[in-house]
């Protein structure tokens, strides 16, 4: 019998995608997987149709359509303050997921260590392991502002550390790393000659005056940072799977080689359509953030009303809630109750921690949803019963300022 490779056999399936399947199976509202249930911008859909009709149906250049790479270079120049050569620094990939994997495979050797902030997007642990690396975790505390201990970061770095992964705005917490926090990370990268890999897919989705800062813009970081991003979240097309990595030329060369053998290239017509998205007026991004802030506030109101203690995110489109007051054994048991008996699907918090026990008191809800969806969520959460979790919710809401 053919055996599964050992590095793959130790992984479980994606919990986020599992919750999506269970929501569909039980007729639940999917607040687990982070995708909109409203249409993508009409101009973008029309551009995809034109690209198909215009014959963009064969392979694009492996590392990306020249038009898209030029558009990306212009976009990161005016928004992020980054100078990127379309020919030397930018690789278009099959979503940010592939960009992250290709970067790790191109830069990390077996036995190297990679620092990951946790809770983390569930792919990062497996990504590190598939690349042969050993992840080292630094805790983001689940309290207002989502701070981390600088000493814990310093202590996580050792002689075998190769890279630090930074996600800002952060999934799953919604933390937006401050400039001061990024300066601290940059200092460690410069001091120990480390690579920074920054996942910035939620860069335009920030609230309450929060500012997105690209780590690559800090002194001495342009030559040691790989930026991972995609069109998925900013333009509501998570299914298109068009992403990119922006890296110093020697690193970009390695990423391109890995990318070529992983996927050959992202979908050619969707790359051409993405050029239209990157040319949207700058006011588009202000309106996007305002829309998501309204959705955030709506779901916070619903969850607080149902007895959930919530931590208020400053970015991205997720809300972390404390479920310890509901009386269930752990996050998975509570999630199954919500899906099967209440009809609403979150993600169990344990999927975002290397030690599941650290996440057993939490779940994550996604809020890129229509008002009609929120109305139904409000109705269904009434099935939790009066006062469910309310004492704990009131205490945590006061502590969180929410």
> pLDDT digit string (tens) for 284-336?
999 999 999 999 999 999 999 999 999 999 999 999 999 999 999 999 999 99
- Encoded tokens for 235: 């333009």
What is the structure's pLDDT at 402? 34
pLDDT, averaged across the chain: 92
For the segment 16-29, the average pLDDT, to the nearest whole number, is 83
Q: Does pLDDT of 401 surpass 60?
A: no
In the predicted structure, residue 397 carries a pLDDT above the cut 70: no
Write the burial class of residue 172 (CB in 10 Å: 0-12 exposed, 13-18 middle, 19+ buried): buried
12 Cβ contact list (under 8 Å, min separation 6)? none
pLDDT at 54 over 50: yes
* Position 4 pLDDT exceeds 80: no
- C-beta of residue 344 within 8 angstroms of C-beta of residue 381: yes
Structure confidence at residue 13 (pLDDT)? 66
Per-residue tokens: 388:
């469910």
Whether 145 shows a pLDDT value over 50: the answer reads: yes
pLDDT of residue 9: 42
Residue linked to tokens 């790393």: 177
The stretch 374-383 carries a mean pLDDT of 96
Give 11's pLDDT tier (boundaries 50, 70, 90).
Answer: low
Give residues with Cβ within 8 angstroms of 1, minimum separation 6.
Answer: none
For residue 191, count other CB atoms closer than 10 A to its CB. 10
User: Which of 32-36, 74-78, 365-369 is least confident?
Assistant: 32-36
Report the alpha-carbon distance of residue 321 to residue 323 in Å, rounded.
6
Q: What is the 3-state secondary structure (H, E, C) of the chain?
A: CCCCCHHHHCCCCCHHHHHHHHHHHHCCEECCCCCCCCCCCHHHHHHHHHHHHCCCCCCCCCCCCHHHHHHHHHHHHHHCCCCCCCCCCEEEECHHHHHHHHHHHHHCCCCCEEEEEECCCCCHHHHHHHCCCEEEEEEECCCCCCCECHHHHHHHCCCCEEEEEEECCCCCCCCCCCHHHHHHHHHHHHHHCCEEEEECCCCCCECCCCCCCCHHHCCCCHHHEEEEEECCCCCCCCCCCCEEEECCHHHHHHHHHHHHHHCCCCCHHHHHHHHHHHCCCCHHHHHHHHHHHHHHHHHHHHHHHCCCCEECCCECCEEEEECHHHCCCCHHHHHHHHHHHHCEECEEHHHHCCCHHHHCCEEEEECCCCHHHHHHHHHHHHHHCCCCCHHHHHHHHHHHCC
Grade residue 224 by pLDDT with cuts at 50, 70 and 90.
Answer: very high
Identify the pLDDT of residue 399. Answer: 34
Contact (Cβ atoms closer than 8 angstroms) between residue 131 and residue 101: yes
Instruction: Show the domains of the chain with their CATH numbers.
Output: 6-40+283-400 (3.90.1150.10), 42-278 (3.40.640.10)
The pLDDT of 269-298, averaged and rounded, is 98
Model pLDDT for residues 156-211, shown as the tens digit of each residue: 999 999 999 999 999 999 999 999 999 999 999 999 999 999 999 999 999 999 99
The share of the chain scoring above pLDDT 70, in percent, equals 92
CA distance 240 to 234: 12
Give the bridge partners for 244, in sequence order: 92, 229
Q: Is the pLDDT of residue 225 over 50?
A: yes
Lowest mean pLDDT segment, chosen from 8-22, 206-220, 257-271: 8-22
**CA pair distance 308, 371, nearest whole angstrom:** 20
To the nearest 10°, report the CA torsion of 248, 250, 251, 256: 110
Q: Kindly state the average pLDDT of the residues 248-262.
A: 97
Mean pLDDT of 84-94: 98
Q: Which residue has the tokens 């996600």?
A: 167
User: Is the predicted pLDDT of residue 3 greater than 70, yes or no?
Assistant: no
pLDDT of residue 48: 98
- Percentage of the chain with pLDDT > 90? 85
Residue 10's pLDDT is 47
Residue 183 vs residues 64, 153, 154, 187, 229: alpha-carbon distances, Å? 32, 13, 13, 6, 21
């Amino acid at each position: 019998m053919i055996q599964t490779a050992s590095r793959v056999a130790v992984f479980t399936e994606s919990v986020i995608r599992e919750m999506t399947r269970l929501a569909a199976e039980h007729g639940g509202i999917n607040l687990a997987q982070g995708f909109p249930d409203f249409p993508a911008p009409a101009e973008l859909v029309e551009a995809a149709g034109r690209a198909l009709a215009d014959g963009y149906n064969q392979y694009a250049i492996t590392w990306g359509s020249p038009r898209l790479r030029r558009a990306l270079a212009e976009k990161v120049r005016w928004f992020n303050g980054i100078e990127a050569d379309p020919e030397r620094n930018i690789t278009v990939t099959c979503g940010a997921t592939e960009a992250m994997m290709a970067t790790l495979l191109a830069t990390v050797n077996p036995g190297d260590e990679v620092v990951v902030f946790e809770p983390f997007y569930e792919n990062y642990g497996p990504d590190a392991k598939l690349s042969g690396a050993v992840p080292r975790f630094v805790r983001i505390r689940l309290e207002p502002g989502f701070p981390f201990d600088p000493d814990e970061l310093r202590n996580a770095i050792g002689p075998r550390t190769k890279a630090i992964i930074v996600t800002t705005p952060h999934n799953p917490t919604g933390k937006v790393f401050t400039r001061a926090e990024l300066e601290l990370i940059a200092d460690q990268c410069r001091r120990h000659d480390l690579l920074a890999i920054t996942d910035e897919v939620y860069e335009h989705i920030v609230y309450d005056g929060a500012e997105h800062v690209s780590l690559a813009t800090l002194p001495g970081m342009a030559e040691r940072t790989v930026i991972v991003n995609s069109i998925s979240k900013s333009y509501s097309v998570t299914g298109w799977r068009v992403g990119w990595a922006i890296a110093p030329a020697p690193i970009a060369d390695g990423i391109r080689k890995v990318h070529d053998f992983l996927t050959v290239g992202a979908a050619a017509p969707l790359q051409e359509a993405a050029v239209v998205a990157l040319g949207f007026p700058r006011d588009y991004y202000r309106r996007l953030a305002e829309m998501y802030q309204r959705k955030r506030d709506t779901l916070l109101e619903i969850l607080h009303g149902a007895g959930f203690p919530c931590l208020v995110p400053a970015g991205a489109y997720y809300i972390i809630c404390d479920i310890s007051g509901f009386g269930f054994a752990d996050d998975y048991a509570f999630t199954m109750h919500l899906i099967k008996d209440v009809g609403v699907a979150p993600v169990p918090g344990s999927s975002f921690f290397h030690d599941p026990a650290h996440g057993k008191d939490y779940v994550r809800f996604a809020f890129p949803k229509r008002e009609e969806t929120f109305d139904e969520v409000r109705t269904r959460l009434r099935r939790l019963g009066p006062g469910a979790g309310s004492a704990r919710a009131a205490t945590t809401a006061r502590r969180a300022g929410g």
